[in-house]
Structure 1
Amino acid sequence: MTKEKELKIIRIISDTEFIMNGGTEDDISNGDLFEVRDKKGEKIVDLDGELLGYLGGRKAILEVTQVHDNFSVLRSEYIDPKPDNYYSNALFKSMKDALSLSSSSGHYDHLSINIDEMEPLESSSPISKGDILKRCGSIYGND
Structure 2
Amino acid sequence: KGSHLSVQHPDSDLLTSPDNTFTCGFYVVCENAYCFSIWFTNSKEKTVVWMANYDKPVNGKGSRVSLRRDGALVLTDVDGSTIWQTNTSSTDAQQAELLNNGNLVLKNSSGKILWRSVGDEEPRKKTESTEK
TM-score normalized by the length of structure 1: 0.23
Of structures 1 and 2, the larger Rg is shown by 1
Structure 1 or 2: larger helix share?
1
Structure 1 or 2: larger strand share?
2
Highest RCO, 1 vs 2 (Cα 8 Å, sep ≥ 6):
1
TM-score normalized by the length of structure 2: 0.24
